[in-house]
Amino acid sequence: MNLTQIKCLAVFALFAIIGFGPVSPGCLIGMYVVLARPLWFKTLVHNLYGNTILPEPAFTADSVKQSKQARVKCFMSLLVLFIVDIAPVPVTPVIAFGIILGRPLWFYLIVLRIYGKD
């Protein structure tokens, strides 16, 4: 486990406690990331995956279109999670814990698609 994983787990543990209200901070931050694509999040994901050997996807000529489609799908998924998180059990932090601990390849590839060829 690297330092970035520990920090992310601590933040999402806090979000799990805060998330018992009607607002899910994890979803709101996720929606912001999908819309604004800040550099700090891409750096965070690279640090999260640390020394893991990861493939670099080959972007096609339609990479702008693919990036936009990925952003729309991710935003809609986060919106659904935001609505589900209104229930008394926070779902988003549990999903985040799985991603932070498991570091699945699909999450890394989605982040690369969202950011596109920048």
Q: Strand, coil or helix: what is 52?
A: coil
Please name the residue that has the structure tokens 């080959």.
58
Q: What's phi and psi for 111, nearest 5 deg?
A: -60, -45
So where are the chain's domains?
3-16+24-115
Burial of 10 (0-12, 13-18, 19+ CB in 10 A): exposed
pLDDT value at 14 more than 80: yes
Query: Quick one: pLDDT at residue 62?
Result: 67
The pTM of this model reads 0.86
* pLDDT category of residue 42 using cuts at 50, 70 and 90: very high
CA distance 92 to 104: 16
Query: Quick one: pLDDT at residue 55?
Result: 74
Report, as an integer, the average pLDDT of 13-23.
Answer: 79
Query: Quick one: pLDDT at residue 61?
Result: 57
CA distance 23 to 6: 24
